[in-house]
Structure 1
Amino acid sequence: MSDVSGTPSGMTGAGGGNLLRITGMATGLDVDAMVKKMMAAEQTKMDKIKQDRQTVAWRQEAYQDIIKDLKDLQSSFLDSSSSDKNILSSSSFSPFDVNGVNGAIANISASAGAVPGNYTINVTGIAQGAGVINQLDSGISLSTKLTDKNPSLVGVLNLNLTVNGNALKIKIDNSSGSMTLNDLITTINNQGSGTVKASFNELSGKFTLQSVKTGQSAKMQISSDSTSDLTDFLKINPLDIGVDKIGSNANFTLQVPGDATVYPVNDKESNNFSLNGVNYSLQGPGSSTVSISQNSQKVFDKIKGFIDKYNAIVDKIQTKITEKKNYDYKPLTDTQKSQMKEADITAWESKAKAGILRNDENLQKILQDLKESFSTAVTNSGLSFGKYGSNSIGLNFSDEYSKPAHIDIIDEGKLKSAISLNSAQVQKMFTNVSSTTFDGSYDSSKTTYREDGIFTRVKKILESNVGLTNVISNKNILTKYANYQDDFSYFGGGGTNTLPDQLYQKDKLIKSMTDALAKKQESYYQKFSKLETAMNQLNSQQSWLTQQLGG
C-alpha cells in the first residue's frame, strides 16, 4: 500500500514527513512497521477513492476524445463559412463542371435542372441602383480633404436622401475640418442602413451615390435642402436635386444548349439570378461562353466522404458503449506503479480503461438520434433510404450487428443515377431546411424535423451536443458533461454531477481523508511513544531494585 501523503510526523515507514523518530528502543518493537500495518485498512480506503477518481478522469478523457471527433466532422463538412467544407451548400450537390468562366463579365455556376452544353451571354448593361454617378475634379483622391477644394465645408453638413420612398438623413460631422473623401464615403455607407452606398474610383475619378437595390423599381431622390457646398463638391447637378433618379435593369442576350435562338433579356432587376438551373452573377459588359458538363462523381464523392467520416465516429461510439469492462484490471495505486516498468503500466492501464463508457446514456442517445436522422423519411423528397423500393438511392444501415448506426453505400449505381437524374430531389433529401419552427425537443414527431434534410438533421443534432461549428462551448449536452464544473460547494455534491463535478467531489474527499489519516497515524505514534516512556520508567525501576538488592 502507498504511504499516506501529507503526514506531518516521522521520517521512515508509515511516518513520512520531516521529523526524526527513534522508536521501539525500550520495547524492542518495530513501531514504523506496526503503525503501517495498523493504517493498512485506512490506506486501502484511500487507494479506493483515488482509483475511483482515476476512473472519472479516464471517462472525461474518453468523452473529450469523442467530442474532438464530432467537432472535426463539423469543421470538415458543416462549416457554413466555406463552400468547400459545407456539404449543405448547393454547390456540393451540383453534378456539373463549368469551364470557361470570365469573371470580368459574369460568374456562372450550375445547379439542379441545368442542361449540359455551351452557354453564351452577351452583357450590354448590368443592373444599377438609383442615384448619381459624377466625374469629380481632377486631382481629387480618397485622401483629399473636403476643405482642400472647398474651405466652407466645415461643421455638421445635412445630406438628405429619399431612398425607395423612405427618408434618410445622413449626418456628416466635419467640425474638425479634417474629413477626407474616404471618411465621407464611410460615413454615408455606415449611416445608409444598407439601403444606400457611396464609392469613388480613383482611376476614373468618378463618384457614385446609389441605392443598394438595383433595377427599374429602385428610386433615389436628393432633397432640395441639401447643403449646396457639399453637392457642389460631389459635382451633383442642380437638375438632379429633388428629382427621382431611377435604377436600371440588367440588359443582356443569352443563347443556351439545343436552341439556336438568341434570347434578349431586360427584365432582371438584380445582377444575381438563376435561369433553368444555371446561376448568373453579372459583373460588367462583354461576351462570354461557358461549357457545362455533367459530373455526378464529385457529388457522389462528397456524400461518400461525409458518410466515411460519420461512420468512423459512430462505430467508435458504438464500440465504447458496448465494450465490456474487465474487473480484474483496476487503476493502479502509487505503490503498484512504483513496482512496475513503464511499458507494463501502459499495458495495464489500457486494459483498465476498457468499458469506461459502457452503457453511457448520453452517447447512447446521440447514437440513436444520428441513426434516426437517416431512417426518418424526408417529406416530399421523393427518394428513400434503405435497400428496398424503386425510389431507394442505394444507402442502408450496415448488416453488421455490432454497427447499428453505420451507413453502407449498398448500390453505388443507384446513388450515382439519382444524383445524375434527380439531383434536385437528392439535394432536398440531404440538405432541405424546413420553413417551420419548432418548440421543445427536436425529434421525428415534429414537422420541422421531418421536413429537414438528413444532413441538416445531423447538423442540428451535433450542435445540441457539442455546439456550433468552430465554436468552443461547454453548455451543450456532451461538452457540458465532459468539461463544465458548476459545483463549487464546500463539501461537494452541489452541482449537476458533470465529470468535472465528480472530480471536484473526489478531490475534496481525498483531501479530507488525507487529513484524517494523518491525525490517526499521529495518534498511533503518540500511543507508542507513551508505551516507550512507560517501558523506560519500568526499566529504570527494575534497575534501581536490582541495585538495592545487591544485584
Structure 2
Amino acid sequence: MNTIRFGGIASGIDTEKLVRDLMKVEREPVNNLKRKKQLEEWRRDSYREINALLYEFQKSLDALRFASSLNKKKVVSDNDGIVSVVAKGTPSLSNYSIKVNQLAQPAVPASAKFAVSSSIPDANTEIGSSFTFEIITDSGTKQIEVEATDTISKVIEKVNKSASGVKATYFNNQLVFTSETEGVFKVKVVDGDGSSLDMGPVGTERNSSSGEPGIPAIVEINGVTHTLSSNTFTYDGIEFNLKQISTTPLNVAVKADEDAIFETIKNFVDKYNELIKTIDAKISEPKYKGYEPLLDEEKEQLPEKTAEKLEKMAKSGILSRDPILYNALNSLRTALATKLDGADPAFDTLSEIGITGAPFGKNAYMEKGKLYIDEAKLRRAISENADKVIQLFSQYSPSKNYGETGLAQRLYNVLGNTIEELSAKAGSTSLPVDDSYIGKSIKNIDQSIKVWEDRLKQIEDRYWKKFTEMEKAMAKYQSQSTWFVNLLGGQQ
C-alpha cells in the first residue's frame, strides 16, 4: 500500500528537498560501498588483463622450450638448376648425394576433338538439334542425350557427370573429350544428327587418339636407384624437384636454419621486453590520494572530459607495488640470469650468446631488466654452435632440477605459477562461476549494498512519516486557530 505523503502543505517547508538532503547524508555508507566495489572491479579487470598477457607469452615459449621446434633446418642444393630442394620434415642425414639419370614425362591421354559449327558461337548458345551419342570404353558404354535447348556447357556437364571415364572441355570453338585413364575410347551417334557438334548423323563413329604412355624419372640417391612417376617427390623429409639430367652426382646439405633460429630468439626477446615493461608500468604507476571512483550521479553533473580525467586519476595505481606481480618479475629475471647446469661453460648464460641487460651507465637501472641483443654475436653463436644455443633454451631435466632446466622452461614454469595465483585472486572470464578472492569480495559488497538499500528505504519512510505527522499537526493547529478567531469575531 502506497504511503500518503504531505509535503509542506501546512508548514510551507520544501519537504521533498529536505528529505532528499537528509538522505544524501544517510546514503554515504552505500556510496562508499559502491566506490569500494568499483575499485575491486578495476583491480579484478587489471589482474585479468595482465593474466591474459602472461598466458599469451607462455604459449609463445613453445617455440623455444622444445628443441624440435627451435632446431629448424634448411636444405641446400649444390645446383638449384638441376635439383631444387625444400625441407618438409626432419631429415635424418646431414648430406644426400643425388644423380638425375632421367626426367619424368607425363602420359598423354587418349582424346578426341570436335569442331563446333560456326552457328554456335559460344558455350552458352543453344545447339538447336536433338541427338544421342555413346561413349564406349573398355569399362563399358555410357549414353548421353542432347536436347535442342542444350548448350555446349550443358553437354559438357552431362559428359562429366556420366561416369564414363571421359571428361569434356571447350576451347577455341572445339569440344574436346579426354580419357581419365590410359585406355582409348569411341564416340558413336546412336540417334538423331550430331553434325552441329561435328559428331555426324546416326551411325557415325569416331575413335580417340591412342595417347602416349608416361616416362618415369630415374634417380640415384646415396647410390640407390629409384624409379618415380613424377619429377617432384619427397624423400626422408626433403621435397626434391628434378629439373635437368645430371652427369655427376650433386650434394644436398641439411643445415641449421640460422635465420629462422635467430628470428625465433629475437621474437622472444621482443615479447619478453614488452611483457616486463607492461608489468613494471602497473606496479610502479603513481597512486593519487583523494581521488575516488565517481558515482553515476556525480558523472552526470560533470563535463565528460572532466569525469574521464577524474576517473583516470582514481584508477591510477590500482596494482601499485602488487606483491604477486613484483615477485613474478623477480622470478622471470632470476630464471634468465641463472646459468644452465650441464651445458658447455661457454654457452650456459644468455650473455655468452649475445643477450644482455642494459649497457652499463648511470641510467641502466631505469631499464628494469630489459634485454638487449648483440646481433652479430648471436648470429655467430648460432652459425658455429646452433646445438648449444638451442640447448641453453630447451634443455630438459628429468628430475625437474631448476639449474638443469632450460631457460624457456624456467620461464614457462614461473608464468604458470603466476597465472594460477592471479586466477585465484581475480578469476577468469572463461569460467562460468567466479570463486576468486576478489569475486567473493564483490559478492559480499553487493549483499551489503542490498541490506543498506533496504535500511535506507526504512529511514526515508521514517523521515516522511515524521514530516507528515508534523504537517497534520500544523494543519490541525491552523484549523483550530481559525475557528477561535472566527468565534471571537462573532462575539463582537
Equivalent in 305, 312, 316 of residue 267 of structure 2 = 305
Tell me the residue number matched to 2:209: none
Query: 2 CA distance for matches of 1:550 and 1:463?
Result: 95
Deviation at 1:25, TM superposition (A): 1.2
Deviation at 1:292, TM superposition (A): 3.6
- TM-score w.r.t. the length of structure 1 is 0.56
Equivalent in 391, 401, 404 of residue 365 of structure 2 = 401
Determine whether 1:324 maps to 2:277: no
Query: 2 CA distance for matches of 1:40 and 1:304?
Result: 59
Tell me the residue number matched to 1:415: 378
In the alignment, residue 454 of structure 1 is paired with which amino acid?
L
Query: 2 CA distance for matches of 1:323 and 1:516?
Result: 39
Equivalent in 38, 42, 51 of residue 22 of structure 2 = 38
The alignment partner of 2:330 has SS state of helix
Change (3 A) 1:547 1:282: closer
Contact 1:366/1:461 (<8 A) preserved: yes
Contact 1:98/1:109 (<8 A) preserved: no
In the alignment, residue 350 of structure 1 is paired with which amino acid?
K
Query: 1 CA distance for matches of 2:354 and 2:76?
Result: 27
Unaligned runs of 5+ in 1: 1-7, 10-18, 80-84, 123-138, 140-202, 204-251, 255-261, 265-278, 439-446, 467-475, 486-494
Determine whether 1:119 maps to 2:96: yes
Query: 1 CA distance for matches of 2:4 and 2:450?
Result: 25
Deviation at 1:67, TM superposition (A): 1.7
Query: 1 CA distance for matches of 2:20 and 2:267?
Result: 61
Residues 171-211 of structure 1, C-alpha deviations (whole Å, 9 max, x = no match): xxxxxxxxxxxxxxxxxxxxxxxxxxxxxxxx9xxxxxxxx
In the alignment, residue 406 of structure 1 is paired with which amino acid?
K
Tell me the residue number matched to 1:206: none
Change (3 A) 1:110 1:305: farther
Contact 2:97/2:251 (<8 A) preserved: yes
Any residues of structure 2 matched to 1:13-162 within 5 Å, and which? 21-75=5-59, 77-79=60-62, 88-94=66-72, 96-98=74-76, 109=90, 119-120=96-97
Q: Using CA pairs below 8 Å that are at least 6 residues apart, which structure has the higher relative contact order?
A: 2
Determine whether 1:425 maps to 2:388: yes
Deviation at 1:351, TM superposition (A): 2.3
Tell me the residue number matched to 2:451: 512
Equivalent in 466, 474, 481 of residue 425 of structure 2 = 481
Contact 2:75/2:254 (<8 A) preserved: yes
Query: 1 CA distance for matches of 2:427 and 2:481?
Result: 68
Deviation at 1:42, TM superposition (A): 2.1
Residues 277-324 of structure 1, C-alpha deviations (whole Å, 9 max, x = no match): xx945999x999534456523212210111101111111101101111
Query: 1 CA distance for matches of 2:91 and 2:371?
Result: 29
The alignment partner of 2:27 has SS state of helix
Contact 1:119/1:291 (<8 A) preserved: yes
Contact 1:95/1:419 (<8 A) preserved: no
Any residues of structure 2 matched to 1:502-541 within 5 Å, and which? 502-541=441-480
Change (3 A) 1:78 1:93: same
Deviation at 1:339, TM superposition (A): 1.2
Residues 216-264 of structure 1, C-alpha deviations (whole Å, 9 max, x = no match): xxxxxxxxxxxxxxxxxxxxxxxxxxxxxxxxxxxx974xxxxxxx6x9
Residues 56-94 of structure 1, C-alpha deviations (whole Å, 9 max, x = no match): 11111211211222222234x235xxxxx5663434244
Change (3 A) 1:110 1:425: farther
Change (3 A) 1:542 1:120: same
Deviation at 1:513, TM superposition (A): 1.1
Query: 1 CA distance for matches of 2:377 and 2:251?
Result: 33
The alignment partner of 2:35 has SS state of helix
The alignment partner of 2:485 has SS state of helix
Deviation at 1:332, TM superposition (A): 0.8
Change (3 A) 1:538 1:432: same
The alignment partner of 1:119 has SS state of strand
How many positions carry a matched residue from both structures?
A: 351
The alignment partner of 1:529 has SS state of helix
Change (3 A) 1:318 1:505: same
Tell me the residue number matched to 2:111: none
Query: 2 CA distance for matches of 1:353 and 1:303?
Result: 36
Contact 1:428/1:453 (<8 A) preserved: yes
Query: 2 CA distance for matches of 1:401 and 1:20?
Result: 71
Change (3 A) 1:20 1:307: farther
Higher helix proportion (structure 1 or 2) = 2
Any residues of structure 2 matched to 1:129-528 within 5 Å, and which? 254=222, 280=236, 290-292=252-254, 295-382=257-344, 383-385=347-349, 387=351, 392-398=352-358, 400-409=364-373, 411-436=374-399, 438=400, 447=401, 449-466=402-419, 476-483=420-427, 498-528=437-467
In the alignment, residue 353 of structure 2 is paired with which amino acid?
I
Contact 1:96/1:110 (<8 A) preserved: no
Contact 1:324/1:358 (<8 A) preserved: yes
Contact 1:386/1:397 (<8 A) preserved: no
Query: 1 CA distance for matches of 2:436 and 2:253?
Result: 61
Deviation at 1:95, TM superposition (A): 6.6
> In terms of mean alpha carbon deviation, does 394-403 or 358-367 score higher?
394-403
Query: 1 CA distance for matches of 2:410 and 2:319?
Result: 25
Change (3 A) 1:53 1:337: same
Unaligned runs of 5+ in 2: 100-138, 140-180, 182-219, 225-234, 243-248
Contact 2:64/2:394 (<8 A) preserved: no
Query: 2 CA distance for matches of 1:93 and 1:546?
Result: 110
Change (3 A) 1:98 1:453: farther
In the alignment, residue 520 of structure 1 is paired with which amino acid?
I
Contact 2:354/2:378 (<8 A) preserved: yes
Contact 2:10/2:474 (<8 A) preserved: yes
Deviation at 1:450, TM superposition (A): 1.2
In the alignment, residue 425 of structure 2 is paired with which amino acid?
Y
In the alignment, residue 78 of structure 1 is paired with which amino acid?
L
Tell me the residue number matched to 1:273: none
The alignment partner of 2:252 has SS state of strand
Change (3 A) 1:102 1:108: farther
Query: 1 CA distance for matches of 2:64 and 2:315?
Result: 36
Query: 2 CA distance for matches of 1:421 and 1:119?
Result: 22
Change (3 A) 1:63 1:108: closer
Query: 2 CA distance for matches of 1:282 and 1:94?
Result: 13
Equivalent in 448, 461, 484 of residue 545 of structure 1 = 484
Contact 1:370/1:405 (<8 A) preserved: no
Query: 1 CA distance for matches of 2:237 and 2:260?
Result: 23
Residues 378-410 of structure 1, C-alpha deviations (whole Å, 9 max, x = no match): 1122224365xxxx222223364244332222x
